[in-house]
Amino acid sequence: MFNKKGFSALLFLLLSLMLLGGCGGSDSPGALSAWSGGWRTMVSYLDDPLVQAACETVADAAPGYGTGGVTQFLKNMYRCDFSAMEISGGSVTFFDEEGSELETVLYRAAGTAPMAGYEGMNWSLFEAVTQPEEGCRYLAATEVHGGDGEGMEHWHFRCGDASFEALVGEAADPLWWPTAVADDTAAQVVADDILSEVDAYVAMLGEPLSAWKGTWVSVASFLDDPAMDAAYDAVAAEAQAAGKNHDAASVKAFLEAMFETPFAFVVVEGDALSFLDASGATLARVPVSYEGQVAMVGYDGYYWEHFQAREAVAGYGRLLMSAVHSDGEDAMVHWHLRFGDGTAEELAQGLDKGPLWFPTCAGEETTVESFAEDVLGEAAAYAQMLP
The pLDDT score that the predictor gives to residue 139 is 98
Distance between CA 370 and CA 328 in Å, rounded?
14
Distance between CA 357 and CA 349 in Å, rounded?
10
Q: Are residues 228 and 356 in the same domain?
A: yes
Q: Are residues 308 and 174 in the same domain?
A: no
Q: Which domain holds residue 332?
A: 210-385
Q: Are residues 63 and 136 in the same domain?
A: yes
Q: Are residues 200 and 318 in the same domain?
A: no
The pLDDT score that the predictor gives to residue 151 is 79
Q: Which of 189, 197, 179 is nearest to 62 (CA)?
A: 197
The pLDDT score that the predictor gives to residue 7 is 46
The pLDDT score that the predictor gives to residue 133 is 85
The pLDDT score that the predictor gives to residue 328 is 81
Domain termination residue (choose one: 188, 205, 222): 205
Domain termination residue (choose one: 205, 228, 254): 205
Segment 300-338, tens digit of pLDDT: 999 999 999 999 999 999 999 999 999 888 889 999 999
Q: Are residues 55 and 111 in the same domain?
A: yes
The pLDDT score that the predictor gives to residue 117 is 84
Q: Are residues 56 and 77 in the same domain?
A: yes
Predicted TM-score (pTM) of the model is: 0.86
The pLDDT score that the predictor gives to residue 2 is 54
Number of domains in the chain: 2
Burial 158-197 (b: 16+ CB within 10 A, else e): bbbeeebeebbeeebeebebbbbbbeebebebbbebbeeb
Helix ranges, the chain (H): 4-15, 49-61, 67-77, 164-168, 187-195, 198-205, 229-241, 248-259, 344-349, 368-377, 379-385
Q: Are residues 241 and 280 in the same domain?
A: yes
Q: Are residues 47 and 172 in the same domain?
A: yes
> How confident is the prediction along the chain (387 residues), in pLDDT tens digits per residue?
655 545 454 544 444 434 333 334 444 568 999 999 999 999 999 999 999 999 999 999 999 999 999 999 999 999 999 999 999 999 999 999 999 999 999 999 999 999 988 899 999 999 999 889 878 999 999 999 987 777 799 999 999 999 999 999 999 999 999 999 999 999 999 999 999 999 999 999 989 999 999 999 999 999 999 999 999 999 999 999 999 999 999 999 999 999 999 999 999 999 999 999 999 999 999 999 999 999 999 999 999 999 999 999 999 999 999 999 998 888 899 999 999 999 999 999 999 899 999 999 999 999 999 999 999 999 999 999 999
Q: Are residues 102 and 199 in the same domain?
A: yes
The domain that holds 238 is classified in CATH as 2.40.128.20
Distance between CA 17 and CA 112 in Å, rounded?
19
Domain termination residue (choose one: 181, 205, 229): 205
Q: Are residues 234 and 175 in the same domain?
A: no
Q: Are residues 197 and 223 in the same domain?
A: no
In the 8-state DSSP scheme, what is residue 145?
Answer: B
Q: Are residues 20 and 152 in the same domain?
A: yes
